[in-house]
Amino acid sequence: MKQIHSLLAITFIVFSACAQQKDSEVKAESPTNVNYTSELVVLDLNIPWGMAFLPDGSILITEKSGELIHFKNGEKNLIEGVPDVYVRGQGGFMDVKLHPNYKDNGWIYFSFASSEGEGDGGNTAILRAKLNGNTLVENKVLYKASPNSKRGQHFGSRIEFDDEGFLYFSIGDRGDRDVNPQDITRDCGKIYRLNDDGSIPEDNPFVKTENAKTAIFSYGHRNPQGMAKNPFTRAIWVNEHGPRGGDEINVIEKGKNYGWPVISYGINYSGTTFTDITEKEGMEQPLFYWVPSIAPSGMDFVSSDIYPDWKGNVLVGSLKFEYLERLVLKNNKVVKREKLLEGIGRVRHVVQAPDGYIYVAVEGKGIFKIVPKN
């Protein structure tokens, strides 16, 4: 009997797997002509999740496994005093970001998975510290999501500042799709906003909502692993992983609900569906969605004069297809997608550094710098 039930179950799964998905309207193309090339500037990294460029031209690089590397004059040094990192599944030592006034105040911000607090497992935390020689000092945890979970998924992690100096960061749904993202009394599946000292801004959207996590700025997110301030509009943009299909770019607005998992362009990894709708009143539409998924991690805008062909474009790393995606926008719509650095490896992060050059962090390889061809 049991076998028959299994067979029926398999048959059912096979048939229900025929869920229809609408592919992205704009397809990614291979470029016909690229006037830039790449050179490997930092060698031998495993999972370089985050990178921050210090005023002296050196780079701070986070390795997911828990190390903080200071790359200076062609040499790597390990920084001491880093937090205890809970390394499991997609979680570990993640983003690093300098305060906009780093030159004056020296503050550096980190995201990492931490097992501190309530329950077994871990959840995403935000740390502020200063670099003194080879050591992190004045470490202070500004936020720690709870409860902990042993699940391996969706820690989010990206950190960004807006023009007013507010600190934004992402935490994914931690694999609890049906519990976390739509509930503002719970952590996870959210974009958060804090003051740079970790206090809650008075005008955060849910400060007066009973039992709400008051650091929440927007909700209904799955797993945003890219976040950047649009240098032209000054808005905070994110890219987030969908399940099978349904990765999204979202422009973050205060108090808004981005719909996960009530609306989605994605389906389950198994091919079955979890929702029939892609839009609903009161929920935001993405600026762009990817079907099939590219597994986007890391995002930045090209604003520097070094790349006239790409100015104003968005760059997004693809973990799954191992390339850097260039998205051309017109009137806030994606009109063209191009596959740069095809086959380079899993692209974890991309940053336009203060020197105007674009740096690309690739798993198992290192950090590449994109330079004009001579």
Contact residues: other proteins, CB under 8 A: 3, 46-47, 64-65, 86-89, 91-92, 151-153, 175, 269-271, 295, 320-322, 345-346, 363-364
Structure-token pair, residue 271:
């091919």
Q: CB 223 → other proteins: shortest distance, Å? A: 10
Q: Are 323 and 339 in contact (CB under 8 A)?
A: yes
46 versus 233: smaller Cβ distance to other proteins: 46
SS (H, E, C) 63-97: ECCCCEEEEECCEEEECECCCCCCCECCECEEEEE
229 versus 349: smaller Cβ distance to other proteins: 349
Give CA–CA dist 361/13, Å, rounded. 39
Give CA–CA dist 195/166, Å, rounded. 5
Q: Are 253 and 226 in contact (CB under 8 A)?
A: no
160 versus 322: smaller Cβ distance to other proteins: 322
81 versus 345: smaller Cβ distance to other proteins: 345
Give CA–CA dist 313/161, Å, rounded. 20
- Vertex 36 angle, CA 307 and 299, to 5°: 60
Q: CB 87 → other proteins: shortest distance, Å? A: 5
For 218, 329, 343, the CA distances from 160, given in Å and listed in that order, are: 14, 21, 28
Q: CB 152 → other proteins: shortest distance, Å? A: 4
Structure-token pair, residue 62:
């986070």
Give CA–CA dist 252/123, Å, rounded. 22
231 versus 271: smaller Cβ distance to other proteins: 271
**In the chain, what is the straight-line distance between the N-terminal and C-terminal CA atoms, in Å?**
71
46 versus 105: smaller Cβ distance to other proteins: 46
Q: CB 136 → other proteins: shortest distance, Å? A: 23
Catalytic residues: 154
Q: CB 359 → other proteins: shortest distance, Å? A: 18
Q: CB 278 → other proteins: shortest distance, Å? A: 22
Q: CB 226 → other proteins: shortest distance, Å? A: 17
15 versus 269: smaller Cβ distance to other proteins: 269
Q: CB 330 → other proteins: shortest distance, Å? A: 31
65 versus 134: smaller Cβ distance to other proteins: 65
Question: Which residue is listed with tokens 């005093």?
Answer: 81
Question: Which residue is listed with tokens 């993202």?
Answer: 181
Strand partners, 36: 372
Give CA–CA dist 303/357, Å, rounded. 10
Give CA–CA dist 123/156, Å, rounded. 10
State the DSSP H helix or E strand holding residue 167, giving kind and residue range, or none if neither: strand 167-171
- The distance between the two most distant Cα atoms of the chain, rounded to a whole number of Å, is 72
**In sequence order, what are the residues at sequence separation of 6 or more whose Cβ sits closer than 8 angstroms to the Cβ of residue 76?**
42, 69, 70
Distance of CA 22 to the CA centre of its chain: 24
